[in-house]
Amino acid sequence: MLADEHSTSLFKKAHGLTFWEMADKNDSFNQSINNAMVSDSNFLMDIILRECGDVFLGINSLIDVAGGHGGAASAIAKAFPQMKCTVLDLPHVVEEAPTDDHVSFISGDMFKYIPPADALFLKWVFHDWGDEDCVKILKKCKEAIPPREAGGKVIIVDMVVGSGPNEIVTRETQVFFDLFIMFLEGIEREEFEWKNIFMQAGFSEYKIISMLGVRSVIELYP
């Protein structure tokens, strides 16, 4: 596949394939990505569960969308053993996932279908995609969850530019990530940009919980 001369993806310009196409075709690259995501979850989920674990209260079933090898889902399931936790990811990811007594895995494409659950969890997903694709994912999310009065919500862990401590290291890190995510043609969003895609997808309300410097937890309601 030849790199698209109109693409701004630095990864595709360098390799002739998108980041996701490379993961599908190269086993060692795919494994490296999944290992990195598990390491990130091992670090982050302890903090999320300690600082804002209330976002998971009352949820009976949760799907970790694009959850890789289940690092985040496993941590949530252990903290809330009554919750049924499932990971949805692409076939080449799921087939290499380790066995986990607390988490089940489903092979699928979040752009096409997300199985129903009380809540959906998406960590470091939306910044990988442009607005149009994010709206598509969010519409599939909205179809998968019950109404708000029945407990339905989407829990997002991602960057909200301008949120968090007003410190130089936070601002520098946000700028760094804004440049870094260009390799995927991704976007780091300010609150008004998040609100725009939420409203386009048909959601009614959201709440941002700033934590861990550059990352936030967003509760999104239908």
Catalytic positions are 127
Alpha carbon 175 to chain centroid, angstroms = 20
Q: How many CB atoms lie within 10 A of CB 85?
A: 27
Which 3 state secondary structure label does DSSP give 214?
coil
The size of the chain, in residues, is 222
How many CB atoms sit inside 10 A of residue 18's CB?
18
Contact indicator for 193, 163 with CB cutoff of 8 Å: no
Helical spans, DSSP H, in the chain: 10-15, 19-25, 27-52, 71-79, 91-94, 131-144, 168-180, 191-200
Cα distance between residue 195 and residue 193, in whole Å = 5
8 Å CB contact between 31 and 96? yes
Q: What is the CA radius of gyration of the chain?
A: 17
